[in-house]
Structures are given as C-alpha cells and as structure tokens.
Structure 1
Amino acid sequence: MKDILSVKARLGLGFGSLFLLVLIISAISIFSLSDANNRFFRYVDGIGKRKELSSELLLAAQQRAVSARNLVLINSSTVRVDEKNIVNNAHRKVGELLRELTASVEAMSPGEERVEAQRLISDIQQIESLYGPVALNIVDLALNGDKDAAVVKINNDCEPLLRKLVEVVTKFIALEEQTSAANVMHSQDEYELQRNQLIAFCLVAAIIALALTLVITRGLDRALGTEPSILSGIAQRIASGDIRAIDEIKTARPGSVLASFGQMQASLSALISEVHNSSNVISGSAQELSAATEQTRMGVSQQRLEIDQVATAIHEMAATVMEVAHNSESAANAAATADQQAQTGGVTAKQAVAQIEHLATEVSNTSQAMLRLKQESEHIEGVLNVIKSVADQTNLLALNAAIEAARAGEAGRGFAVVADEVRNLARHTQGATQEIETLIASLRNISEDAVERMEVCRGLTDKAVLQISDTDVSVTAITTMISNIQEMVRQIATAGEEQSAVAEEISRSVTRVRDISDQSAASSEHTAASSMSLAKLGGTLKQQLERFQI
C-alpha cells in the first residue's frame, strides 16, 4: 500500500501523540494532587479555627467567672468598676465567639462529625443561656451590697454551670482533634490512590511510546528502502562523480529513497553523455570572442586611470572619516561622564529621601511621646480629684471634732473617734500627694524625651538640606557636560560637510567611469551571441566532465 503521510508528518504525528499523552497524564496528576491538597487545607483550616474559637470561648467564660467572684471579695469602688467592665466585656465576647463557632460548625461538610459537633454546640448554647444570666446576676448582687446572696449564687449556680461548660467545650475540642486525625488518614489514603493511578498512567504511556517507536521505525525503513548509512554512501559516490550502476537498487522497494537514487543515477549518466558532445562547440565560439576582447581591454585601461582618481578622493574622504570617528569617540566619553554625574545625583537624591523618611519616623515618635504626656496629665487630674474629695471629708470631720470638743466631758470619747478618722484621711491625702510627685517626674522625663527627639529631627533636616545641595552641584556638572557634548556634535556636523564635498568629487569620477563602461559595453555587443553559448557550457566544462565515471 502506498504511503500517504510523509516522514516529517509521521514523526510529527508520533511524537505529537506521545507529547499529548504525557501532557494529559501530567494535567490529570497535577489536578488530582491540587484538589487533594486544597481539600486537606480546607479541613485543617476549619478544624484549627474551631479549636481556636472554642479555646477562646472557654477562656472568656472563665474570665467572666473570676471577675464576678472578685466583685464579691473586693471592697474598692474603683476596682469593682473595672471588674464589672471585665465581666461585661467577657460576656459579650462569649456571645460573639459562640456565634462564630456555630457558623463554622454549620459550614462543615455533612457527616457524623458535623452532627456530633452540632449536638455539642447546642449543649454549649443551652449551658450559656443559663450561665450568662447567672454571672450578670452575681455582678448586680455584689454591686448592690448583697454579698451573701452573691456567694450562694456562685456556689450553687455559677460553679456547677461553669464545670458543665468546661466539660462540653473540652468534648468539642476532643471531637475536633479526632476529626482532624480522621481527615489526615483520609488524605493519606487519597494520596496513595493517586500515586497508584499515576504509576499506572506512566506504564500505559511507556507502552504507547514503545509502540509508537516500533511503528515509526518500520515506516522509516519502508520509506528509505535501506539503512541511512548506505544511502549516505551512495550519495557521496554520486557527489564525487561516480555515476555507475548501483548494485543495491536491485532490491529497492518502489517509491523508496533508494529507488529514487537509482533513477537519478540513470538520468545523470544520460545527461553527461550529451554534455560531452556539446563541449566541442566551445572552441569555435572562443575564437570569435578574441577580437572583441582586445577592444574591451583598451576600455578597461582607460577605466583604470579614472579609478585611480576615485582612489585619491576616497583617501581624502577616509581622513575626514577618521576625524569624525575621533570626535564621535570624544562625544561618547563626554556622554559617559555625564551619565556618571547623573548617577551620582540620583544616589544623592536617594540619600536625601532616606534622611527625610527617617525624619518623619522621629516626628512620629515625638507625637507618641506627647500623647503619653497627655495621658499622664489626665491621670494627674484624676488624682487631684481624689485629693479634693479627701480634703472635703477632712474639713467635715474637723468640723465634727470641733463640735464634739465643745461638748466636752463624758462625750469626749466621740471626739477621739473623729480624730482617728481625720488621721486616716490625712494619710490618704499624703499618699495621693506622693503619687502626684511620681506622675510629675514621669511627665518631666517624657518632656525631655520629646525635646531630644525634636533635636534629632532638626539634625536630620540639616543633613537633608546638605544632601540636596550636593544634588544641585551634580546637576550643574551634568549641564556642563551636556554643553561639551553639543559642541562636539557641531564639530561632527562640520566634518560631515567635508565628507559631502569629497563625495561629490567621487561622484564626478564615477560618472566618467560609467561613460567609459558604456563605450566598452557597445564594443562588446557583437560578442553577446558567442558569450551566451559560452556562459551555458562554461570554460571548464571538459575538465569537470573528466570527474564523472560512466
């Protein structure tokens, strides 16, 4: 059967099919691995988020319980207000975390793990619906002064509910850890399955590649007719002039390259025989050319003189070109120097920018220091309010002491009580005064810090100004170099004008050469008929024909 496809098409089809198969296998493998990797990371990310939310929820609930208990134990009004705020913030955070945890569980993939997680979340919500109001109730009782009722509430309601909440949250965390372990095992199984599939695909690809190799090899053998080395030897024999009969053609398959070589050998043999007969015609044509050749020689001599003049003009133009080249080199050097100066200016500008950025950072630090100064001032104002309150109470107690002193006698013992209270208030006043002194010292340090930073900023600003001045100097130098380049360009233009004049002289000489060439062409027109036959047969036709062995 006659081959339809060419060798190039066969090779392209075979290797294209193999490449397509490898590409498909690679795409399937990459897609499978990417899908498994994405699913694994989604599992890990969801589980990690739920564990983190449950741990934060448990910590917030415990913080709420601790702060509620502190309200019962602490008598300081300022600390009690802080603890109340902590309880409220923790209660709000528990609600937010519980909502986020519920949403994360709802986003889980359907399965037993999701059902169990939903059940535990439901238990947590139920416990929190009881535990949250109890904690807030304890806060209200403690703030209203009913500490006994608050203690009973803590022992009977708060602590049991907290233990239940801790137990359920712990179970939820354990469930997430079990789910994580199961997902890891599942991912490992999927990896092994995909690995086995990839191995199978590779084996199939290897088998197909082997089959394609066999098919392509057999096709090439039929197309060539013999080994490529034998074909190369036959081609070298023909190229060297040996066009005798080829023995291997006897077994050549019709339509193969070897059979085509046989046909080429037969055609060349017949052609060489005809060329031998035609070579005898050349000698007669050569005699007819001799007369015209002499006249052509005289024209060529005249052309030689004109060409000498052209050479002189070209020499002058070469000198001018050398001058142009020298000026061009100088211009290039000046341009390089200008470029270096520009780079120096760029580096200087960058340094200035860096200094200014540093200045901005220091200004930011100064702003922070001033902010701390403001906060300390506000603290001082609070302490002064305390001192004012203590002073007012001291005055009131002093008044009571004066009244009691007026009632001397057996009632003098009341005066002693009032005097004790006055001393206590005096001690409070002294403590507040010491705190004010401490705060004032802190303010002084912060102010000094701000002054130092401002000094640093000023120094950096001075450096930036100097850097910018250096940049200006560099720019000035660049401008000067550019002026030099312009002057050199003008010199190059002048040299170009000189080249133009020389070129005109060359043009005139070439015109004369062209006229003489026209005369030579007119003289050699009568030799055209003979030269046509000589051009086809060639002056060395006989010598070349001797190479061939027929």
Structure 2
Amino acid sequence: MKLTISRKLQLSFSLLALLFIISSVLTYRNISTVEQYVSSLLTSDIPTVDTSRGIQQSVQASLSSIRAYMLLGGDDQHSQQLNKDVHKTIASIDDSLPTLQTLISAQKFNTIQEQWQSVKKSLNQLLVLSHSRENLPAHNLFINEAAPIAEVALDQIQSLINEESSNPFGGERKRLFKVYADSYVSLANALASLRDFLLYGQQEYLDKYRDLIKSHKKSVAEIDKKLDRLTEEHASLWALFKEMQQLYFPLAENVIALRLSPEWNKSNQLMANELLPSAVALEQSLETVVQAQQQRADQSGQGINQSIQNVLTTMCIAIVLIVSSAIAISKYMGNTIGRRISLLSERAKTIAFGDVSQPPLKVVGNDELAVLTESINRMNSSLAEIVSGVTDKAQQVDVSMEDLLTSAHVTSLNVANQQASIEQMGSQLEEIAFATANTLEQVTLSVQKLSDSKGEIELGRDALEQNKITMETLHNTIATASTQVTRLSKESEAIGRVTEVIEGLAEQTNLLALNAAIEAARAGDQGRGFAVVADEVRMLATRTTQSTTEINDIINAIRHSTHSVVEEIDSSQSLADQGAEHIEKAVSRLLSTTQKIGQLNGQMVDLAAAAEQQSHATNSITVLMSDITDSVNQVSNHSQSAAETSSKVKEQVTELNRQMATFVTQ
C-alpha cells in the first residue's frame, strides 16, 4: 500500500504522541501521590504542629506573665498591663483550640482541653489571689493586728519616757528612764526584725527577733519591780502598755507560725501544686501530638522524595524512547522524501535564474511530491510561453516610445521660447513698477518729512509763546522783588534810628551807673550793695552800647547789599524786556514759515496721489503678466513631465527587454 507524505507524518507523530501519553500517565500517577503527601503536610501535619507549638508558646507566655504579675502586680501602673497580657494569652489559646480540634482525634483533643481548663482556672485564681490579703496571711495578720497593737504599746512607753524626761529628780528615777528607753528600743527593733523575717523568711531574723523580745521582757520585768515609784498617771500608762503587750505576743507567735507554714504564700503554693503540674501535663500532651505529626510529616516527605524519583525515572525513559523514535523517523523520511525534494529544489533554482528551457522532470510515486513535480513542469512550460510573448510586446512599445519622445521634445522647445519672451516682458514691467513705487515712496517720505517739520515748527512756536509768557512773569517778579528790596532798605534805616536811640539810652544809663557808684563809695559799707548793683548796671549799659554798635554795622551792610540788589534787579528787568521783544519777532517769523510749509505739503500730497494711481495700474499689468507666466510655466511643466514620463517608460521598456533577455526559452 502506497502512503502519502501526510499519512506517513501522521503515523510518525501518532507514535510519538503515544509515547508522550504513556509517560504522562505514569508521571500523573506519581504527581498524584506527591499531591496527596503535600496535601497531608499542608492541611494536617504542618497546621497541627504550628497550632500545637503556638499553644505551647502561649502557655509559656501565660506562665511568664502570671509570674510577672505576682511580682509587679502591686504597682497599679504594671498591674493593668500584666493583667491584660494574661487575659490576651488566654484568649489566644481559646481561639487556637477550635483549629486544633479539626486536626487531631477527639480523645486527644478532650484530654488537651481538660488540661487547658485546669491551667486556665489556676491562672484566673492566681490573678485574683496574688495581691489579695488572703495570699499572705502572716503579713496580713502582722500588718492589720500585731503591728498596730505593738505601735500602741510603743506609744505608751514613749509617753512614759516623755513624762519621765521632765522629772527633776535623779538617782533611781534616771535608772527608770533608762529602762523605759531600753524597753522601747528593744520592742521597736523586734518589730523591725519580724518585718525582715516576714519579707525574707530567714532564720537569723527570727532569732534576732526572739533575742530582742527577751531583752524587752527583761526591761519590762525590771519596771514591774519599781511600780511603787510610778505616779498614778504613769501607772495608768504602764497598765495600758501591759494590756497591749499581752495582746501582741500571741498575735506575733501566730504571725511566725503562719510564716513558717508551707502555705505562707498561697499564690506560690497554688502555682507550684496546681498550675505548673497542669501546664507540664498540657505541654506533654501537646508535645505528644507534635511528635506524632512530625513522624507523619517525615513519612510524607519520604513519600514525596520517592515519588519525585519515580517521576524523574519515568521522564528519562520516555525521553530516551521519544528521541530514538524521532531519530528513526527522521532518517526514514529523509531517505524517502529528501532526495525527491532536492530534485525539485534544483529545478526551482534553475527557473529562478531565468532558465525555462529545461526538459520536464520525471514524476515518481503517487504522493504530494508527485503532484508538486507535475505542477513545476507545467509552470516551466507556462513561463516559457509568457516570456516569449512579453519580449515581443516590449519591442513594439519601445518603437512607439521613440516617436513619443521626439514629439514631446519639439513641444518643449516651443514652450520654452514663449516662456522666455513672456519673462522678458515681465522683467520690463517689474522695472517700471519698481520705479513707480520708488517715486511714490520718495513723495510719501517728503510729505511725511514736511509734516514732521511743520509739527516741529509749531512746537517751537508754542515753546516761544511759553517763553514769552515766562519772560513776562519774570519781569513782574523782578518788579515785585525791587519793591520788596526798597521796602527792606527803608526798614533798615528805621532800625538804624532805633539803635541810635538805644545807644543814647545806654550812654545815659552808663552815666547814671557811674554816679551811683560814686554815691555808694561815699556811703561806705552801707552803700556796698548798692555799689555792686550800680556796677552791674554799668556793665549792662556797656554791653548794650557794644550790641547797638554791632547792630549798626549789620544794618549798614544790609543797606549796601540792598542797594546792590536793586541795581541788579534793574539790570535783569531791562534784559527781560529785550528777551520778550526778541521772542515776539521769532514767533512772527515761525508763523510765516509754517504757512509756506503747509502750501508745499498740499502740492506734495497731490503728487503722491498721482504716483499712487500710476503704481496701481503698473501692478495690475504685472499681475496679468504673472498669470500668463504661470500658465506658460504650467504648460512647460506638463510638457517636461510628459517627456520625463516617456523617458521613464522607455527606460522601463529597455529594462524589461534586458530582463526578458535573461530568460532562456530555446
């Protein structure tokens, strides 16, 4: 049976696909096993271990927090935070237990839950008991009963000491005072030692307490022997002390007995006897769960490794089989199909190089390559016929394009001559238009300059008018200043007359002062004060005379300066009058010049209008000639384009003939 190429390829790929399917099935089975192990790790083993470890850590955290609370809970600042930490840890474990319930057996979970409830109960009891009065009964009894009674007893002894210190008698009274003090000190030190024993529980503090109590009792016994020396008030205080003492001693022994008892700290006892054993049992149960799950996790890991090894082995075998099959198929296909494809490739290259004169190939077989061989044979013969027909048609087109190029060349020459004539005419019109435009521009500039000159002259006339007004104002100002200076001269003369009067008065005052001094000298000691006054008056008259002399000098200087100013003002007034006359003449001449420039400006405006009309006419002719030039240029361009197109077509026909010559048909 003869098979087609597609059938052969299908069978080959089917064999390879079968090998792929077999290897895939085996790989899938191994991967399914891996997935089962991984699922067990992810859904059971690892969550169980993580949850159990988390509960173990939370239990340890709760123990640490409760220990810290027992130590620092007496401080309100730390008590609330530590209490919150303990409850937070308890809540965390309560939240983790439902997760653990889904991961382990019911029996194990019930055991763990019972153990946790026991731990939780102990934690809550410790939170309540740690800093309550019931926690330390010995401390409570000492602080609330024994210590207050002892303090009352000490107060009585202190009162006795205070009373005895004011007693003026000596001898035995001083000895009694010393015994009071010894009794007080020994009891106070005994209380301090008992406090130390309660805090630290060491035997040395208890022994010290008992020694101090013996010393105290010895002092009390000595005082009891001297009761006849006590006053009534002292005896009353001592009786009250003895009563407090009898109450204190039994309480103190109870305090010591409670402190020596194993249950002296109930919270520590509760923690040691209940909380820690329950926590250890819970830890062991969780550790058992963790160990079991870790063993399962190890088994799952070993199963995963074994499955991966199986997958790798299967893939290696499949790769070897597939590669071997592929090599065998490729060799067979190369020997049966490659040779025939090589012949077809050689014939295709021959046709590609233009040789279509080869004989037809021999058709072998009944597959797709046989059909392809027949198609190449038919293509070879068809190309030979087409090349022959195209070569003939190209030669005919070549002859026709020669005639078309000749006609296009003649047309281009005629159009070029017309274009040259029109361009020459356009150049002449442009020169005329340029000259007209230049004339118009010069006229316009002249008109503008005349207008500017007229404006400048008018501005100059206005400035002269303003100068004229300014000169008149200056003339009036100078006249006013002359009047004021004349008035100042007259007032200076009046001041001079006043100073003459003052000078005369000063001379008379000087004479009067001289006469007064003479009279004072005649009066002797009685006229000495009057002589001093007369001397002062004389000195004042002298200074007045000097001042009037200086004022006269200043007034004379003012008169001289005023006279000079009057002369200068008269000279300035004459110059101002001459300036006003010259300005009046300049204004008249500028007015005449302005009128003449206005007449000339009108004539230049008429000339500009005529030049502008001539420019418009020349521009219109230039535009018409430009349109004609554009039309001729378009005709010339079209002619050139036609010639270029004809040349390109001829070149393409020549190239076609050259290319067709590469085909071999005979």
The TM-score bracket by the shorter chain reads 0.3 to 0.5
Q: Which TM-score applies when normalising by structure 2? A: 0.37
Larger radius of gyration: 2
Normalising by the residue count of structure 1, what TM-score does the alignment of the two structures yield?
0.43
